């Protein structure tokens, strides 16, 4: 293991303590200066490290690869399903292994944007509670969330490799669904397990306040996706919940996902490869940026990508045509002046949706590394 660490870059070992990224007056700053960057989702980075510790060579090697490609930051899940169980079973072991992840990221000079409760609506089920228990200050759900957040922030808030904190992943897509009961497991089909805007906002706000009690500087993201097309009506018009929202209603619904003290507006953005439309892409990104400007909160596109309906690209897939669309999406986000955006996805173990997924087993998508280098270089040029 020692040899592997030696080949990783040690550029950040001299990092000054404390945050490098902050939000001030609605602007994203790094070391006090306006900043923008493209990063990568590396969703499963923590899994093997938390399980195997130093023996998780594939994950440490992945960080080395990302560092060699100068990927500025990554978004990954921390407390998620089995990972949460590891924490509850043996907190000391969990933190020893998380320390290894943070240390390796520091050596590789890859910033970290951890999502602390990726599956926030499942957290209550861990304690035989209900989704609406996020509203209950005395619930075991809140006690766990507070404990884990406090321990995470207390442990890493003085490490500059830790860029910002995120609450969950796309939790708003479950808010106020008229057919929400269909998505619940058979033994969970209860009204108390139907996610609501009120419970969603309460959980995000609670997370933000818990972080802010210990770290008053780093940015905060809810991890929410762009609102559903009927999000406002789902919450406010129970008789016509699937009615398409107006632009003003969409802006209001987006604002629900970033209650203070959250200071980034999280959106996710994907477009179909088969129906890619550069004009529509730019119009939608401009709308998202306009909403963020109106909220006075920098836009964070936590996931973006070009979707292929087949999921897994076969040997005859036209990678060159896909590359054209991927480049255009990078260009559109750059033109929209989005401060932070993360491509979906780099998979350490090569599993999950394959099209556009950087991974050690399929190098057809390595051009994404080139796009990250190119556009981060353009962003770094003096304006």
**Nearest by Cα to 171 from 271, 243, 258:** 258
Instruction: Report which of 319, 307, 328 is spatially closest to residue 364, judged by C-alpha positions.
Output: 319
In 82-181, alpha helices (H): 82-89, 91-108, 123-126, 140-156
From first CA to last CA, the distance across the chain in angstroms is 42
Order of strands across the sheet that contains 27-30: 21-24, 27-30, 33-34
Burial profile 304-324: b = 16 or more Cβ within 10 angstroms, e = fewer: bbbbbeeeebeeebeeeebbe
58 burial via Cβ count (<10 Å: 0-12, 13-18, 19+): middle
Confidence at residue 334, expressed as pLDDT on a 0 to 100 scale: 98
User: 21 lies in a domain?
Assistant: no
Q: What is the mean pLDDT of the chain?
A: 93
Residues 115-164: tens digit of each pLDDT: 999 999 999 999 999 999 999 999 999 999 999 999 999 999 999 999 99
Dist. CA 259–CA 255, nearest whole Å: 7
Q: Which residue range(s) make up the domain with 310? A: 2-11+30-380
Q: Residue 205 domain-assigned? A: yes
**20 in a domain, yes or no?**
no
Q: List, as one string, the DSSP characters of 291-340.
A: HHHHHT--EEEEEEEEE-TTSS--TT--HHHHHHHHHHHHHHHHHTT-SE
Number of H helices, E strands in the chain: 13, 11
The CA-atom distances, in angstroms, between 295 and each of 63, 77, 252, 259 are 35, 27, 10, 10
Asked, for residue 329, whether it belongs to a domain, the answer is yes
Judge whether 18 lies within some domain.
no
- Residue 24 domain flag: no
Neighbour tally for 158: CB within 10 Å: 12
Distance (Å, whole) CA 186 – CA 104? 42
Sheet holding 165-166, edge to edge: 220-221, 165-166, 111-117, 73-79, 37-41, 340-343, 299-307, 265-272
pLDDT tens track for 316-356: 999 999 999 999 999 999 999 999 999 999 998 766 558 99
For residue 38, being part of any structural domain is answered with: yes
- C-alpha span between 349 and 352 (Å, rounded): 9
Upper half-sphere CA count for residue 376 (Cβ side, 13 Å): 19
Place of tokens 């499963």: 44
Q: What tens digit of pLDDT does each residue of 347-358 get?
A: 987 665 589 999
- What is the distance between the alpha carbons of residues 186 and 353, in angstroms, rounded to a whole number? 27
Q: pLDDT, tens digit, for every residue of 34-47?
A: 999 999 999 889 99
- In the chain, the number of structural domains is 1
Tell whether 109 is covered by a domain.
Answer: yes
pLDDT at residue 275, as a whole number: 96
pLDDT attached to residue 124: 97
* pLDDT score, position 351: 63
CATH of the domain at 166: 3.20.20.80
* pLDDT per 10-residue tile (average), the chain, 383 residues: 38 53 97 96 92 96 97 91 90 97 98 96 96 98 98 97 97 98 95 98 98 97 98 97 98 98 98 97 98 98 92 88 98 98 91 81 94 98 82
């Amino acid at each position: 293991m020692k040899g592997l660490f030696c080949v990783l870059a040690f550029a950040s070992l001299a990092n000054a303590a404390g945050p490098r990224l902050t939000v001030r007056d609605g602007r994203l700053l790094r070391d006090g200066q306006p900043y923008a960057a493209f990063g990568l989702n590396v969703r499963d980075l923590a899994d093997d490290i938390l399980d195997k510790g130093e023996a998780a060579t594939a994950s440490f090697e992945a960080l080395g690869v990302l560092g060699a490609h100068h990927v500025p930051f990554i978004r990954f899940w921390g407390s998620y399903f089995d990972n949460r169980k590891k924490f509850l079973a043996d907190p000391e072991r969990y933190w020893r292994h998380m320390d290894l992840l943070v240390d390796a990221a520091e050596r590789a000079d890859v910033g970290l944007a951890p999502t602390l409760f990726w599956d926030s609506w499942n957290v209550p089920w861990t304690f035989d509670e209900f989704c609406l228990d996020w509203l209950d200050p005395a619930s075991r759900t809140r006690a766990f969330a507070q404990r884990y957040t406090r321990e995470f922030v207390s442990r890493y808030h003085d490490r500059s490799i830790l860029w910002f904190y995120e609450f969950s992943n796309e939790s708003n897509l479950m808010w106020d669904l008229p057919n929400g009961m269909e998505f619940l497991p058979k033994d969970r089909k209860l009204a108390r397990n139907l996610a609501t805007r009120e419970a969603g906002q309460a959980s995000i706000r609670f997370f933000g306040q818990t972080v802010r009690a210990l770290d008053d500087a780093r940015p905060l993201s809810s991890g929410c996706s762009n609102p559903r097309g009927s999000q406002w009506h789902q919450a406010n018009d129970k008789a016509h919940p699937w009615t398409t929202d107006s632009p003003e209603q969409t802006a209001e619904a987006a604002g629900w996902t970033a209650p203070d003290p959250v200071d980034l507006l999280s959106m996710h953005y994907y477009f179909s490869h088969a129906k890619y439309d550069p004009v529509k892409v730019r119009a939608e990104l401009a709308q998202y940026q306009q909403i963020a400007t109106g909220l006075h909160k920098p836009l964070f596109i936590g996931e973006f990508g070009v979707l292929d309906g087949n999921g897994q690209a076969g040997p005859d897939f036209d990678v060159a045509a896909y590359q054209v669309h991927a480049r255009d999406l990078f260009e559109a986000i750059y033109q929209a002046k989005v401060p932070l955006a993360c491509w979906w996805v780099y998979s350490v173990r090569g599993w999950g949706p394959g099209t556009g997924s950087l991974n050690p087993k399929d190098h057809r998508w390595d051009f994404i590394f080139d796009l990250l280098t190119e556009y981060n270089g353009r962003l770094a040029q003096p304006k």
